[in-house]
Homo-oligomer: A and B are copies of this chain.
Amino acid sequence: MPRHSVRDVIVETALGEFHRTGFAACSVDTITRAAGVPKGSFYNHFKSKEDLAVEVVAKYTAEAEWNDVTDPTLTPLERLRAQFRVMGDVLVGNGYTRGCMIGNMGEELADHSEPMREQVRASLGGWAAGIADTLRAARADGEISTDADPDLLGRFILDAWEGALLRSKVVKNDQPVDDFFAMVFGQLLRRG
């Protein structure tokens, strides 16, 4: 597939539009117009707006800035903190708008689209499993001393993060992310 094909342009444009406005508020017409492609070309590439949105969430998950934290000198706990920090920086860069597209799409569509529910389940599940792996490494290194199950803790930390991002969109300031760091890294994961 050539770069910048019509298909790529539609996916890239839809990623921005869905993140900015949500699924229901964004029409195929809006997306094709913003992408500068004929509306008729849309259905050559996607069965439906839902089909496109599922692909967009998979792309958003795979390309998350979270995955860019690869400094090998960081300890597991330092890496986890840096990963949440970089996601928080994205939020600040967006002026506390948009939040997490995985959470947004889950909130809006989990009850109405089985393919989207499955994609969001996979995105959140993979993310939580990655956190759990890091927590296991941190515990093996003696960086954390909590006796909580790492899988459970990973899921809980991700839930707390998604809730903090939601509140960030609402209060439009750093407080929810600051609260998250204080409680997760200052309390839950501090050495006992």
CB <8 Å contact, A110 and B170: yes
* Residue interface bits A12-23, CB-to-B below 8 A is 1, else 0: 000000001110
Q: Does A148 contact B (CB under 8 A)?
A: yes
Q: Does A64 contact B (CB under 8 A)?
A: no
Bound-state Cα–Cα, A156 to B180, Å: 7
**Inter-chain contacts of A120 with B (CB < 8 A):** 170
Q: Does A139 contact B (CB under 8 A)?
A: no
Nearest B residue to A20, CB-CB: B111
Interface class of chain A by DSSP: helix
CB <8 Å contact, A187 and B148: yes
CB <8 Å contact, A153 and B107: no
**Inter-chain contacts of A169 with B (CB < 8 A):** 106-107, 110-111
Number of interface residues of A (CB under 8 A): 47
Given A24-B24, A171-B121, A183-B153, A166–B106 Cβ distance below 8 Å?
yes
Bound-state Cα–Cα, A187 to B98, Å: 32
* Residue interface bits A158-177, CB-to-B below 8 A is 1, else 0: 11111110110111100110
A interface residues (Cβ-Cβ under 8 A, vs B): 20-22, 24-25, 97-99, 103-104, 106-108, 110-112, 117, 120-121, 124, 146, 148, 152-153, 155-156, 158-164, 166-167, 169-172, 175-176, 179-180, 182-183, 187-188
Other than the known A159-B179, A166-B166, what 9 A-B pairs have Cβ atoms closer than 8 Å? A20-B111, A21-B112, A104-B108, A106-B170, A120-B170, A124-B170, A155-B179, A162-B166, A163-B164
